[in-house]
Structure 1
Amino acid sequence: MIAAIGRFLQRWGGYLALVIVFAIACALLSNWQWERRAEAVAAIQRVVDNYDAKPVALDTVLPELDSWKLDDEWTPVTLTGRYLRADQTLVRNRPLEGNPGWEVLVPLQLDDGRVFLVDRGWVSVGDTQDLPDSIPAAPKGEVTVVARLKPSEPTIGASTSTKGQLASIHLPTVAEHLAGEQVYTGAYGLLASETPSAATATLSTKPDPDEGPHLSYALQWIAFGILAFVGLVWAVRRERRIAREEAAERAGLPAPEPKRPRRKTDADIEDELLDRVG
């Protein structure tokens, strides 16, 4: 018995190790997809909890300029101040429904002097592709804004920001352009409404509750890991059957018949019918 196990390991040990490594990789990839799904479900829940909530004062959510909690994403806040229209910035490479365009970012200086960045919507690229054909102007004078909070975005590689344009809404970079101002760097706001009202670009809409294909991918990776062991068992059994057939041929004996399930007799069928109605 020990000798047989030794021969098996010598013959199939490498394949077994390979299958184990593959199964571990499948398990790790499956766990990664589970984590991605958990993140997507949490993001959907934040939309459900916050998007249609009653607006609150900005200070209750962002007590400091760099304050931010992920659970506050999409929370509507109320702000009163004046737009710094001369410091309007365009954020490039912002597609909407497959169309290229820009986000219009305008600083709003609050009554206490602090500055909060408001995304006043999306505009399509213009005929020259370098700038939009037109941008709705932010209103003059004092305005009351309701905006939904979003976190500061990361920088994009080695992308540089040119005058009046940004590669991403990285708020510390925006703060550098607004030198001398106290700028909120933890979050900015997607415009929901303005009072008095004014023309705006295309405003953002409520995100669809789509968690993506992560669950199916996680289950697929688990299935791949199991199938690897099934394939190994099948290969071992096939090799053993071929070895038996070759041994029988060398001994001049008929090849062993493969095992087939016993056919049911009439009595077996009758018993099954009685069990079903009994």
Structure 2
Amino acid sequence: MYGFLLSRRWIGFALVVVLLASICVRAGFWQLHKLDDRKAENAVARANLVADPASLDAVAPSGEQVSPDDEWSTVRLTGRYERSDELTVKFRTRDGSPGVDVLTPLVLQDGTAVLVNRGWMPTANNSERPSDIQAPPDGTVEVVGWLRPDSPAGDEAVAPFEGQVRAVSSAAVAEATDLTLRSGYVDLQEQTGGPGDLRLEPVPDLGEGPHFFYALQWWFFGLLAVIGFFWFAWSEARERRDPSVGRQAHAVGGS
């Protein structure tokens, strides 16, 4: 009764179903791997966020890249802001409102500098750099903030253009200025004189994301493909056994 499954058409159908189901299964496990990565990143972030502030040299010595294991470490810096090289990071939204992050180099006592994200400000819904950016405190200031690694975005996103970037890269900013920049940047949390009207970077989202449910969805799609194959096979076998079933189905569809 099921001999038709050995026909070229059904073998091809079966191969397509097997391929589709395999892709869905692999995609599900890929989502679980992403979930494991997210859990590991969250564990690092939680540990670093509750640690006491440390000096930048203790976490990321000069000349070294910011390690992923050091992201969200709280560091304490002392220096003076160099507003002439200030940038804005455009297309940053908060609660659905357009705005920019204000990125100002802080020149340290050893002559090197660190990019400090002083906070977010609302702007018009366009790509123009705002002209009313609040100035940083004058003179020597003490800054406490979260250490972040450079963005891996491409040159078009990180290279400064008309005082703006779309993502932060200390290496790209260093090429466009005369500053000797340390790797990464710092999300300001506290500073001498306070942040003013700028809104500080919020605590990162430490949720696990939708990866587990995405895995279930992929596996459901794979199971649906297999069930569909057997349903179509059963339906054709039933029609072959009783041709009147097929005629009735065609009649109902035609009416």
Superposition TM-score, scaled by structure 2 size? 0.85
Would the alpha carbon gap of residues 44 and 176 (structure 1) be closer, same or farther in structure 2, given more than 3 Å must change?
A: same
Q: Is the 8 A contact 2:119 2:195 kept in 1?
A: no
Would the alpha carbon gap of residues 188 and 111 (structure 1) be closer, same or farther in structure 2, given more than 3 Å must change?
A: same
List, as ranges, runs of 4+ consecutive aligned residues in structure 1 with deviation greater than 4 Å. Answer: 4-7, 126-129
The match for 2:217 among 215, 220, 227 is: 220
Percent identity between matched residues is 36
1:238 Cα offset (Å): 2.3
Equivalent in the alignment of 1:265: none
Equivalent in the alignment of 1:62: 60
Q: Is the 8 A contact 2:66 2:148 kept in 1?
A: no
Equivalent in the alignment of 1:168: 167
The match for 1:19 among 17, 20, 24 is: 17
1:5 Cα offset (Å): 8.0
Secondary structure of 1:51 counterpart: helix
The match for 1:48 among 35, 46, 49 is: 46
Larger mean CA deviation between 104-113 and 29-38 belongs to 29-38
Q: Is the 8 A contact 2:98 2:124 kept in 1?
A: no
Equivalent in the alignment of 1:122: 120
Q: Can you give the 5+ residue segments of structure 1 that lack an aligned partner in the other structure?
A: 248-278
* Aligned ranges 1:90-239 → 2 under 5 Å: 90-126=88-124, 130-132=128-130, 134-156=132-154, 158-159=156-157, 161-179=160-178, 181-185=179-183, 187-197=184-194, 199-239=196-236
Whole-angstrom distance in 2 between the partners of 1:34 and 1:230: 24
Would the alpha carbon gap of residues 8 and 222 (structure 1) be closer, same or farther in structure 2, given more than 3 Å must change?
A: same
Whole-angstrom distance in 1 between the partners of 2:79 and 2:53: 16
Q: Is the 8 A contact 1:127 1:133 kept in 2?
A: no
Larger mean CA deviation between 124-133 and 27-36 belongs to 124-133
Q: Can you give the 5+ residue segments of structure 2 that lack an aligned partner in the other structure?
A: 245-255
Cα RMSD for the two superposed structures: 2.4
Secondary structure of 1:108 counterpart: strand
1:113 Cα offset (Å): 0.9
Superposition TM-score, scaled by structure 1 size? 0.79
Would the alpha carbon gap of residues 91 and 32 (structure 1) be closer, same or farther in structure 2, given more than 3 Å must change?
A: same
Q: Is the 8 A contact 2:146 2:186 kept in 1?
A: yes
Q: Is the 8 A contact 2:98 2:125 kept in 1?
A: no
* Aligned ranges 1:21-36 → 2 under 5 Å: 21-36=19-34
1:172 Cα offset (Å): 1.1
Would the alpha carbon gap of residues 5 and 243 (structure 1) be closer, same or farther in structure 2, given more than 3 Å must change?
A: closer
Cα displacement string for residues 161-195 of structure 1 (whole angstroms, at most 9, x for unaligned residues) = 3232222212111111222x32113x110001112
Would the alpha carbon gap of residues 127 and 210 (structure 1) be closer, same or farther in structure 2, given more than 3 Å must change?
A: closer
Whole-angstrom distance in 2 between the partners of 1:236 and 1:167: 54
Whole-angstrom distance in 2 between the partners of 1:157 and 1:114: 23
Would the alpha carbon gap of residues 161 and 116 (structure 1) be closer, same or farther in structure 2, given more than 3 Å must change?
A: closer
Q: Is the 8 A contact 2:112 2:181 kept in 1?
A: yes
Q: Look up the equivalent residue of 1:152 and give its one-letter code.
A: D
Larger mean CA deviation between 228-237 and 156-165 belongs to 156-165
Structure with the greater alpha carbon radius of gyration: 1
